[in-house]
Amino acid sequence: MILCAGKEEARAIGQDWLRRYLSLPNYANNLLRLGYTGEDVETVSDRLFDGLIA
């Protein structure tokens, strides 16, 4: 969970955090197996973000 004053601030924090993990093949490949697309993983899409971050 990310507690912030606004949605944009929370997304910026969450996306930076997710990018570190998504650069590791095992995390990215697991998300692909779960049905996310390569584009979701590469861009940290809203769909991916909303699915992983509360």
Q: Quick check: 52 and 11 in contact, CB under 8 A?
A: no
Q: Is the dihedral of CA 11, 16, 19, 21 positive or negative?
A: negative
**pLDDT confidence of 32, banded at 50, 70, 90?**
very high
pTM to 2 decimal places: 0.79
User: Is the pLDDT assigned to residue 53 strictly greater than 90?
Assistant: no
Query: What's the confidence (pLDDT) of residue 41?
Result: 96
Q: Is the dihedral of CA 23, 21, 47, 8 positive or negative?
A: negative
Query: Mean pLDDT, to the nearest integer, of 11-21?
Result: 90
